[in-house]
Structure 1
Amino acid sequence: MASSSESTALQSPASHPRLPFDVEIFIVRDLIEVYKHDEKRLAPLATVSETWQRIVEKHTFQGFKLSVQELPVFQGFVRRGRLQLIKSITLKVRTSPSWHEDCD
């Protein structure tokens, strides 16, 4: 008979069985791909558990495409703990047609 330390499902404080971490990662990553394909928001996935929140945030905060006007909102939105998740930021710059004519 297997001891409780050898069981595959962990127990959370609320006595609900939890899946092993690697299984949770697999499930969340698959759901992220499905949600991205269907253009659904990922936020509901982040509310399932702290583990799911960390996985979703790691995906969500990988890269951003921002305009200059969006920078203040971005600054307020990204807290210190999330900064380490960001891998790239692309700054979108709009130019006027006359600016391009000056380049010729």
Structure 2
Amino acid sequence: MYADETVVGHVMWGVDDDGSRWIGGMVIDATEQGGGVGRATVLTLADWLAGQDGGPHPVRLSYHPGNGAAARLYTGLGFLPTGATEDDEIVVELVARTGDA
């Protein structure tokens, strides 16, 4: 992730066997947190992933239950709990966001 020409973070994505798209491994420099970089990244990436190959595809991610900032961010963007966990993290899903960013 870049802010102007400065690297301020990192994010990964992947495609699961069921066709769902996953966002993972998002890290944002402490000096940039709270400034909207994470929100913009998740919105942009979720829209792109959902629309791949003619979409729509569900977009999923997971976060540690003790990470209140992540919970607020993802809930505020419309991600809903799936009821599943992944490595003790809460799995949430955003369905068919294409075009909403």
TM-score by length of 2: 0.30
TM-score by length of 1: 0.30
Structure number having the greater strand percentage: 2
Give the greater-gyration-radius structure (CA).
Answer: 1
Structure number with higher relative contact order (C-alpha < 8 Å, ≥ 6 residues apart): 2
